[in-house]
Chains A and B, each alone.
Chain A
Amino acid sequence: MIVEHAFLVGFSKSFGLFYLIALSVAVAIHAMKPSNKQRFDEAARSILRDEAEPWR
């Protein structure tokens, strides 16, 4: 199968330009979704040791 140069350039200039930006928007939505807040807050606290007892 021979892929034309023009096709590759067209593909990278159209799809290639936007898909990573689209993924970034998706990540921003995932990170900022209010229902995820509690999960993330717990994750941030999870590494801090409680001296008195085993982890959590």
Chain B
Amino acid sequence: MNKSDGISQFFIRNAVPLVFLVVSAVAIPISQFSPSYLIQELLIRLSRNAFLVLSLLIPIMAGMGLNFGMVLGAMAGQIGLIFVCDWNIVGVQGLLLAAIISTPLAILFGFLCGIVLNKAQGREMVTSYILGFFMNGVYQLVVLYGFGSLVPIVSAKLLLSRGYGIRNVTNLDGMRRSLDELIPLNIAGIEIPVATFLLIGIFCLFVLWFRKTKLGQDMRATGQDMVVARSAGIRVMRTRIISIVISTVLACYGQIVFLQNVGTMNTYNSHEQAGVFAIAALLVGGATVSRASILNVFTGIILFHLVFIVSPMAGKYLLGDAQIGEYFRVFISYGIIALALVLHAWRRMNDKERARAQFRGAEGGAA
């Protein structure tokens, strides 16, 4: 590979983060936000989203692509939060209890998701995406009709006026920012959610440690080549299910962390956005369907949310309408996923062609 090939490969590999970097560099001065405001907003969004995005790493390692099924974990987390709100348990204790309640649910959802994805090898992403829609229907049925009738809910604040079903918006006032403000730290007027970052740090260490374990190595082997992994004695199907279960459980915790920061829960919609935004952020960070690292997670969240923060104001100053920026945000989140998938397919095709050309060259040389 010559130098120009190397440079073009670098640009191809990092096309998405570079585009975002350029967009941010142009939009920041136009938006006229102060650096302290931008830093504060970025810290909030980093603490809010990092857990969710990190939960995507393990299935990628196991070769299952982007886990759109993480919304199942988010649903489990929300169910836990509904119960905790009903029992009126507040603060960090409420979050902890919600996590404890939702863990078995997330394990069950992850297990079922893993079984389905094993049946759909090679099409895991689209299957998990549709599975998310299917489970969304089940979730809505249970929460809208089962809660308050089959599942006992006593708080009138949560129930619809008809006596069963949970209201559209669940107020998490008692838990709002309870983790973020557990260890308060204020530097030059910028509030830093130390406890949340500690939790995220522990999670990062867990991911690093997990990669070195026997199970982590099995997952990497499975991700690289399932046939080879199977011949090496790895229980491929079991390994894949475990990766989805871990991801779902972590997504469940991620959704709890996310919602405690927001302070309100859109009972029927909050989980829907979790998957798309987390995946878009990861892809913006330079990750691909088959390769992602912790660095991609943080780069992605910073770049993606930087554009999210500045685009409405930049749109307002440029075109006189903040709504343009809002459209831009939605366009970006879905567009970037499409772009990353197209780039992935294109790159894979290129790699195959290059490998074939090399093989032909070697064959020709041998002849």
| Same complex | no
Listed in ascending order, the chain A residues whose CB lies under 8 Å from chain B are none
